[in-house]
Amino acid sequence: MCRIMVAMALNIVEPTELSRLDLLGGGHVSTEQHDLEDASVDFGRLLARDKAAPLAVFYPSSTEGVAQVVRAAHSRGFVVSARGHGHSINGQASASGGVVVKMMSTCASAGGGHGGGWGRAVVEEVRYVDVWGGELWIDVLRRTLEYGLAPRSWTDYLYLTVGGTLSNAGISGQAFLHGPQISNVYELDVVTGNGEVLTCSEVENSELFHAVLGGLGQFGIITRARIPLEPAPQMVRWIRLLYSDFSAFTADQEYLISLGDSDLKFDYVEGFVKVVDESLINNWRSSSFSTPNPSKFSSIIPMSNGDILYCLEVTKNYDEWNKDSVDQEVELLMENLNFIPHSELSTDVLYVDFLDRVHKGELNLRAKNLWDVPHPWLNLFVPKSRIADFDRGVFKGILGNNAGGTGPIIIYPMNKDKWDGRTSAVTPEEDVFYLVALLRTALYNGEETQSLDYLIDQNGRILQFCAEEGIEVKQYLPHYTSEGEWAAHFGAKWDKFRRNKMLFDTNHILGTGIFIQIFEEKAYLIGMKRKSGADDFFDKEESLKELTQLADTAGFRVVGSTYQNHPLSVQQIDAVDKVLAELGISSILMSKIDRTRNPQEVWNETKKMIDIVCISAVQDIQRGFARIL
């Protein structure tokens, strides 16, 4: 009896080989040190450069250019990751030892074929814009405003790429009303991990369409998106209200997002957490609001340093023609709210200035050299039923006096029915859930509570608290290091997520910065039963159950039997059949082994359970598969 295990691993490609991709056209490959260093660092600055360094950076000029690189990676076996504006936190867009595709570099046309940039803005009564996947949302806003139009769902920070946010979800205070950005897409052009260029939508290649949206870059690279538009307002009434009672704060937020289908509603609902201190007025008003009288402000908030306040932030959009009705509408909406009396601040700003508000803060931080520093952010979706427990254990407990001390802590609810359950994005299983975003910055020369180690440890304590208390949070912009954690994160969607990976990225070359220990595992084939009469083989039928047990004992994870759920194309299956027939192997199992385990160690363990090890047969299979894979 013989059981044969054959390893197939991703290849390491030399930089000189990558430079030849320039000959394909459609872009430019760089192996310059400054480009490699830039592609090794993201906004989080949490991953060491040497662990994230690619061998090359590709600057595409079209969808076909992206496809050429992915096809080369698919056939040669090197890894590829798309990078937008580099706003990932934990190296999710890295491609260690592979190629980073710098999507933001492209300014080709998105109209007519698979290009990039801009296309038509209106078709009959359906308003939309076609944009390159590497386009920044701020540029989408500026261009569409030229036509009096704008997308309806946003992120708080607009210097992010379209493809980047659609690969996650894309959320802001409009999400309660319109859903996340992944719920506001008509159509996509996608280069799959297999190198195919496919147009997909709700009705065309819908499986790919829903997989890619919120798919963390695992199934394809978005090169074009068709975004629905609506008439853009001219102005925004921007209001902030203070609360000392968390239950009143969340009750008002939940009330406001329940008005989504009514005529009288706010257009944006968010909130944040702040510890009372001497800088509260400046931190809470922002430069867009006029400064209240400090003594009056202190009198309406009779609290001590260290107490926690909650701020409700809302907006009402309007135009010149209906500006006279704004005061009345805002008054009607606010009369049912239970904020601290006289704590409200209000200002009127241009629509574009409100949407681009975070960029002003970025410029201030850059001027102080506080932008290019580590950002150990933690973004959680928290079920509505447990948000009070989260406040008690985290805001008032773990964070305490340090809540918001090194960056904003944002909190606001969303309606689950505005999220399309067919996408890859995951949320809690409740009709209403909260985003809690701890957007904190680590300072190199700050206090201990501002250090990177302290903040990372605090994030760990928050997650541990949620686990121990049974608060079933979901990470937004998730980061995990084990398959069990990823499976728990995706829950009921995990099996489908893995099937989509096999279907659209069969060689697991995409997005390896995310599933670095999962989908970069070494792939193995286990063969059984040679034709009867062959030397060194036991001529008795081997049961699938026995072989599965062997795989489990040896530390393998069996992901499919025979040809189900395997990373092989139809053409490769035919070639595999031929090789196996020549060698007398009648059936195979696909399985995986964690790359962190020593393959030789696992092989040695497996050999102890094998009656006869046919090394020659292993070598034959290796040579045979080398011809076809």
Residues with a catalytic annotation lie at 87, 156, 270
Q: Which two tokens stand for residue 95?
A: 């491609």
Burial of 284 (0-12, 13-18, 19+ CB in 10 A): buried
Are 138 and 147 in contact by the 8 Å Cβ rule? The answer is no
Are 130 and 119 in contact by the 8 Å Cβ rule? The answer is yes
Are 264 and 330 in contact by the 8 Å Cβ rule? The answer is no
Give Cα 309 distance to the centre of its chain.
30
Residue 365 Rama label (left phi>0; alpha psi -120 to 50; beta): alpha
Determine the Cα–Cα distance for residues 166 and 137; give it in Å rounded to an integer.
11
Are 552 and 526 in contact by the 8 Å Cβ rule? The answer is no
Are 162 and 182 in contact by the 8 Å Cβ rule? The answer is no
Instruction: Count CB neighbours of 596 within 10 A.
Output: 10
Exposure class string for 470-507: b at 16+ Cβ within 10 A, else e: ebbbbebbbbbeebeebbebbeebeeebbbbbbbbbbb
Are 291 and 280 in contact by the 8 Å Cβ rule? The answer is no
Treating both helix axes as pointing N-terminal to C-terminal, what angle do 570-583 and 615-628 enclose, rounded to 10 degrees?
A: 150
| 506 φ, ψ (degrees, to nearest 5) | -65, -30
Are 224 and 110 in contact by the 8 Å Cβ rule? The answer is yes
Determine the Cα–Cα distance for residues 329 and 316; give it in Å rounded to an integer.
9
SS3 string of 529-572? EECCCCCCCCCCCCCHHHHHHHHHHCCCEEEEECCCCCCCCHHH
Q: Which two tokens stand for residue 282?
A: 């400046």
Start-to-end CA distance of the chain, whole Å, equals 27
Tell me the sheet residues that pair with 237: 316, 348
Determine the Cα–Cα distance for residues 582 and 614; give it in Å rounded to an integer.
16
Closest CA to 72 of 194, 189, 199, 190: 194
The total number of residues written for the chain in this structure = 629
Are 126 and 116 in contact by the 8 Å Cβ rule? The answer is no
Instruction: Return the amino acid letter for 142.
Output: R
| 397 φ, ψ (degrees, to nearest 5) | -110, -85
Determine the Cα–Cα distance for residues 411 and 388; give it in Å rounded to an integer.
12
Run of H or E including 56:
strand 56-60
